[in-house]
Amino acid sequence: MGAQGTLLLYRSVVNLWRGMRHGENRIGSANHFSCRSGSLIVPNQACQRARLMTIQQEASIDGLERRVLRDPALPRSEGASKTSRRTSALLAVLVLGGGALAYVYYKSQSSAPALAAPPAPTVTVSHPLQKTLAPTTGFLGQLSAIDFVEIRAQVSGYLTEYHFKDGQNVHKGDLLFVIDPRPYQIQYEQAKASYRTAVAQLDLANQEIWRAQELKRREYATTQTVDQRNQQQRGAQAAVDQAQAAVHAAELNLEFTRITAPFDGKISSRRVSVGSLINGGAGGGATGGTNLLTTLVSLDPIYLDFDMSENDYRAYQHAAKAQGSDTLAPTIDVILDDEEGTIYKGQLTFLDNAVERSSGTLRARATIPNPDLALTPGQFARLRVPIGTPKPMLLVPAAALGADQSREIVMTVADDKSVVPKVVKTGPLVDGLRVINEGLAPNDQVIINGLIRARPGSKVTAVPGTIEAAAKL
């Protein structure tokens, strides 16, 4: 083989070695690094020695190539002899270097420890809670006061006092406002004086008629005189009645100067100040020109007004007939949209007598006890009305539900400890738990804690837990 042929052979070997080296993954700097070839990891020092041998071999081949290319007229025999000796030496170096590198790779692979598999995540599981419940349907309603009144004055005058704080809870008969009573006290005294005068006139008329009757009996007076005395006596009696009515009116006006609460409830802010001239009157209203002083609403009990669709109304009627009543007044649950999800109990007490044509709904109303006065007129609340007979149902915590686009899912654990998602159809919240209408079996192991660590198909370590209903009010 000539020098150029041998050179090409060794160049091919070196290129192959370079390709192998270029496929390695190098990590580190020039002085400290490690090499990776596939799944084999070579220690830093061994890889460094192998790299040094490879560089020396490449330098020798590069020198020989430069020599042959620089002196193409070199004698064939001399060039071939010298090249043969050098190539033999290089071949030996390559074989020894490759063997050393393979030995290092083998020892590194045999001494590398195997990585341990991570433990399965821990989750808490429980069977769904079973409870006998009646099917319900939900509505959105608005609270309203049973009693509402605008406080207005029935007499005119200057406002001298007020006896409440804005927004205060008041009781029936509590004093709210005082209008200057002095003018009405004077009128009351005048009315009483007029009454006494009328009573005196009546006494005189009674005496006059007695005298006329005595004279008529003795034939000293005519019948005409007796008739006149009778007429005067009846006129005096009418004057007494009129004076007495004036006294009552004056007394009533005097009472109207003290404005009191007509029922228990919560009062609004006052619309007038002390010293304001109040226009009162029995007419009231906007057309009467009276001043609005404040408003008062009752709180316990309280109404919840809502609209029921025709389908829901028919379902309600069927449920009422199934229980043998045409006027079912079921207990309903009222839920406030607060952080705690507070639930109140009430009674469905009113259904309107006709469906509105424009909306196709029926006006309905529930009455709710409000002893703690936590419910306020104008608030919105959700309520559930039973529309069927009670039957067993499954309940799970709301936190156990997940979303899969438009579907709701529950993660369960199978017998082989793998996570299995199940698509479910949910119902309302009951005692803080979500009703599951479809998709879940009573013996399913539902993940109730650690849901974020559960992946469909993955293995988990299941720890038994318990589903408990929230405490009722």
Q: Residues 250-294: pLDDT tens digits? A: 999 999 999 999 999 999 999 999 999 999 876 544 446 788 999
CB 151 within 8 A of CB 296: yes
Q: Provide the pLDDT for residue 151.
A: 93
Q: Provide the pLDDT for residue 225.
A: 81
**Neighbour order of strands in the sheet with 277-278:** 258-260, 175-179, 157-162, 277-278
φ, ψ (nearest 5 deg) of residue 462: -90, 130
Chain Cα centroid distance, residue 361: 26
Q: Provide the pLDDT for residue 52.
A: 55
Dihedral sign for Cα 412, 415, 419, 423, please. Answer: negative
Q: Which of 85-99, 164-178, 240-254 has the lowest mean pLDDT?
A: 85-99
CATH of the structural domain 136-144+300-386, one choice from 3.65.10.10, 3.40.47.10, 2.40.30.170, 3.20.20.80:
2.40.30.170
pLDDT exceeds cutoff 50 at 26: no
Q: Provide the pLDDT for residue 211.
A: 81
**CATH number for the domain formed by residue range(s) 181-256:** 1.10.287
Which band of pLDDT confidence, cut at 50, 70 and 90, is reported for residue 146? very high
Q: Provide the pLDDT for residue 23.
A: 46
pLDDT exceeds cutoff 70 at 395: yes
∠ CA 77-79-80, nearest 5°, is: 65
Q: Provide the pLDDT for residue 385.
A: 83
CB-based burial, 211-249: b 16+ in 10 Å, e otherwise:
ebeeebeeeebeeebbeebeebbeebbebbeebbebbee
Non-local CB neighbours of 183 within 8 Å, separated by 6+ positions: 157
How far is the CA of 119 from the CAs of 9, 116, 123, 343, 418, in angstroms? 54, 9, 13, 43, 14
Q: Provide the pLDDT for residue 335.
A: 82
Q: Omega before 301 cis (within 30°)?
A: yes
Residue 275 one-letter amino acid? G
Which band of pLDDT confidence, cut at 50, 70 and 90, is reported for residue 10? low
Rg of the chain on CA atoms, in Å: 53
Rounded to the nearest integer, the mean pLDDT of the chain is: 78
The larger pLDDT score, comparing residue 319 to residue 339, is at 319
Chain Cα centroid distance, residue 96: 77
Q: Provide the pLDDT for residue 90.
A: 57
Domain boundaries, the chain: 3-111, 125-131+393-464, 136-144+300-386, 152-176+264-295, 181-256
pLDDT exceeds cutoff 60 at 11: no
Q: Residues 442-451: pLDDT tens digits? A: 999 999 998 8
Number of Cβ within 10 Å of residue 276's Cβ equals: 15
pLDDT exceeds cutoff 80 at 358: yes
For residues 32-53, average pLDDT: 48
For residues 228-243, average pLDDT: 89
CB 394 within 8 A of CB 129: yes
**CATH number for the domain formed by residue range(s) 125-131+393-464:** 2.40.420.20
Task: Please tell me which of 38-42, 388-392, 398-402 the model is most confident about, judged by mean pLDDT.
Answer: 398-402
Q: Provide the pLDDT for residue 77.
A: 45
Instruction: Report the C-alpha gap between 80 and 93 in whole angstroms.
Output: 20
Instruction: Report the C-alpha gap between 148 and 58 in whole angstroms.
Output: 103
Which band of pLDDT confidence, cut at 50, 70 and 90, is reported for residue 99? low
Which band of pLDDT confidence, cut at 50, 70 and 90, is reported for residue 98? low
Q: Provide the pLDDT for residue 301.
A: 93
At 275, list the tokens: 């010293």
For residues 399-408, average pLDDT: 85
The larger pLDDT score, comparing residue 14 to residue 131, is at 131
Strand partners, 148: 297
For residues 84-112, average pLDDT: 57
| DSSP for 423-455, written as a single string | EEEEEEEETTEEEEEES--TT--EEEE-GGG--
pLDDT exceeds cutoff 70 at 453: yes
How far is the CA of 455 from the CAs of 17, 190, 193, 259, 458, in angstroms? 46, 93, 96, 70, 5
Dihedral sign for Cα 213, 216, 220, 221, please. Answer: positive
Which band of pLDDT confidence, cut at 50, 70 and 90, is reported for residue 132? confident
CB 454 within 8 A of CB 442: no
With tokens 């081949």, the residue in question is: 61
Residue 344 one-letter amino acid? Y
Instruction: Report the C-alpha gap between 258 and 322 in whole angstroms.
Output: 55
Q: Provide the pLDDT for residue 473.
A: 42
The larger pLDDT score, comparing residue 183 to residue 36, is at 183
Using alpha carbons, select from 465, 299, 317, 325 the residue that is nearest to residue 396: 465
Instruction: Report the C-alpha gap between 80 and 78 in whole angstroms.
Output: 5
Q: Residues 369-379: pLDDT tens digits? A: 999 888 999 99
How far is the CA of 130 from the CAs of 249, 425, 433, 467, 471, in angstroms? 69, 16, 11, 10, 16
Q: Which of 52-56, 122-126, 214-218 has the lowest mean pLDDT?
A: 52-56
The larger pLDDT score, comparing residue 286 to residue 336, is at 336
Q: Which of 110-114, 203-207, 435-439 has the lowest mean pLDDT?
A: 110-114
User: pTM, whole model, 2 decimals?
Assistant: 0.59
The larger pLDDT score, comparing residue 107 to residue 384, is at 384
pLDDT exceeds cutoff 60 at 41: no
Which band of pLDDT confidence, cut at 50, 70 and 90, is reported for residue 42? very low
CB 390 within 8 A of CB 319: no
Q: Provide the pLDDT for residue 39.
A: 40
